[in-house]
Structure 1
Amino acid sequence: MGLNGEQEARRVVIASGGELGDWALDEIRPDDVLIGADRGALFLVRHGLRPMLALGDFDSVSAEELEQIRHGSDETDACDPIDKNWTDTELAFRYALERDPKPAEIVLLGALGTRFDHSLANVHLLQLGGASGIPCRIVDRHNEIRLVAGSGEGAATVRRGRFRQVSLLPLSAEVTGITLEGFQYPLRDATLRIGQSLGVSNVLLAEEGTVRVRTGLLLVIQSVD
């Protein structure tokens, strides 16, 4: 609780059903609000973590595993696998966006994997977060992905950490006013369009750099081989 008894904004971590491993456990902090989407909930429970909410159609778990999830979660919301409009990850993401107070940040784990259609759809979810003004990231073993939205002068600080390479790819048809500070290959007031690879594989010169955007939606993808 904050001052005057007000509830403080907390980080929400969503574990989805894509690639997960010990690396994901290192991303979770003790005070995070945890949400498990389908098999991601099973991952959390099996590693001694208790989701505030487990939700989805649970078509990728057995009846016994679903019982484990129910027992290990504060709340379980099972929906019909046919009669639903959104993926399990989007259900969890929209639930997180609607929390009160709004999350300090939303982190998606297990949002990337062998299903490219699901992976790409999950990357597109970052636009929902950006529209809500909530910082959002997708993290897996090799990548960290976030969105910088231009609204006059959108900006993001990029820290080196364990991800050495930094790539910039437009999510909108065009991104203008791209300016980089602290990178090996600088840009100033540049424009990137869908289909261009100019922003791939840059490198930070120091521990952090800055990405500025005037208009459009720019994916900032940090990677390690």
Structure 2
Amino acid sequence: MVTHEKVIHLIAGGPKHLIPDSAFSNIGNIEWMGVDRGVSYLLEEGIIPHFAVGDFDSVTDEEWTEITLHIDEISRFRAEKDETDMELAMEWALKQNPTKIKIFGATGGRLDHFMANALMLSHYQKQNVLVKIEMLDLQNAISIYFPGRYQIQTDIQKKYISFIPLTTDVTGLTLTGFKYPLTNHRVPFGSSLCISNELLLETGTFLFENGILMMIRSND
């Protein structure tokens, strides 16, 4: 049985120079979603998003006119709301039954926005284990993992791999095929032990027993 990936590229309004060209690449079965100013980024690239969401407090009157002219499905909310624009976007994206969600434009700029977006990944990944969720920019790829065994491939563009505990205790961490291997190790919250590792082979394996890990793959 052949299964087809359904990928959503979610473009937020962070600094555009940090968004890689791959965010706007029309290769594969991709649907685009714009979040606040990210909608204008898509229109600048000649892409009409399937959906637009946000309070749009960061766009000009001219940009808002362009948005309403080209996009049929828009959800505009008041700036004073309980959910962030990104949370509203993720709720919509997950209702489309994707296999992958790639988030762009969610890093850089304000640190509070970045931290909220990065930690938000844990919430949505836990509730949707069959959907691979990543946050990407020119230099980094961020993803969340829960206890289990995982295999990862070498990425020559992002060779550095860091594992950051998101809970008070990650236990049983084992890294195989890495420059700095570990065996059944306990990594406390706030530890810098697992920063800037590298794969020695084409593939590597990591596994752990308890906790939540954020993996960040980066280049210089």
- Fold match by TM threshold 0.5: yes
Paired position in structure 2 for 1:86: 83
Query: How far 1:53 sits from its partner (Å)?
Result: 0.5
Contact 1:41 1:51 in 2 (8 A): yes
User: Are 1:202 and 2:200 counterparts?
Assistant: no
Instruction: Give 1:98-177 correspondences, 5 Å limit.
Output: 98-99=95-96, 102-131=97-126, 132-133=128-129, 134-150=131-147, 153-177=148-172
State the aligned residue count.
216
Deviations 1:41-65 (A, max 9, x none): 1101110111100110000001110
Note closer, same or farther for the CA distance 1:90–1:216 as it changes in structure 2 (3 Å cut): same
Contact 1:19 1:140 in 2 (8 A): no
Query: How far 1:156 sits from its partner (Å)?
Result: 4.5
Secondary structure of the equivalent of 1:61? coil
Note closer, same or farther for the CA distance 1:103–1:183 as it changes in structure 2 (3 Å cut): same
Query: How far 1:92 sits from its partner (Å)?
Result: 0.5
One-letter amino acid of the structure 2 residue matched with residue 46 of structure 1: E
Query: How far 1:119 sits from its partner (Å)?
Result: 0.4
CA distance, structure 1, for counterparts of residue 69 and residue 179 of structure 2: 51
Note closer, same or farther for the CA distance 1:68–1:161 as it changes in structure 2 (3 Å cut): farther
Contact 1:156 1:211 in 2 (8 A): yes
One-letter amino acid of the structure 2 residue matched with residue 15 of structure 1: I
Deviations 1:31-80 (A, max 9, x none): 21111000011101110111100110000001110121222334111111
Query: How far 1:158 sits from its partner (Å)?
Result: 4.1
One-letter amino acid of the structure 2 residue matched with residue 18 of structure 1: G
Query: How far 1:128 sits from its partner (Å)?
Result: 2.4
One-letter amino acid of the structure 2 residue matched with residue 104 of structure 1: T
Deviations 1:63-113 (A, max 9, x none): 11012122233411111111x2111111111211222xx210111101101
CA distance, structure 2, for counterparts of residue 40 and residue 111 of structure 1: 10
Secondary structure of the equivalent of 2:141? strand
User: Are 1:20 and 2:16 counterparts?
Assistant: yes
Contact 1:39 1:61 in 2 (8 A): yes
Q: Percent of pairs identical after alignment?
A: 33
Contact 2:19 2:105 in 1 (8 A): no
| Structure 1: runs of 5+ lacking an equivalent | none
CA distance, structure 2, for counterparts of residue 175 and residue 77 of structure 1: 39
CA distance, structure 1, for counterparts of residue 22 and residue 202 of structure 2: 20
The 10-residue stretch of structure 1 (121-130 or 42-51) with the greater mean CA deviation from structure 2: 121-130
| Structure 2: runs of 5+ lacking an equivalent | none
Contact 1:20 1:140 in 2 (8 A): no
Aligned-pair RMSD on alpha carbons? Answer: 2.0
Paired position in structure 2 for 1:11: 7
CA distance, structure 1, for counterparts of residue 166 and residue 18 of structure 2: 30
Paired position in structure 1 for 2:213: 218
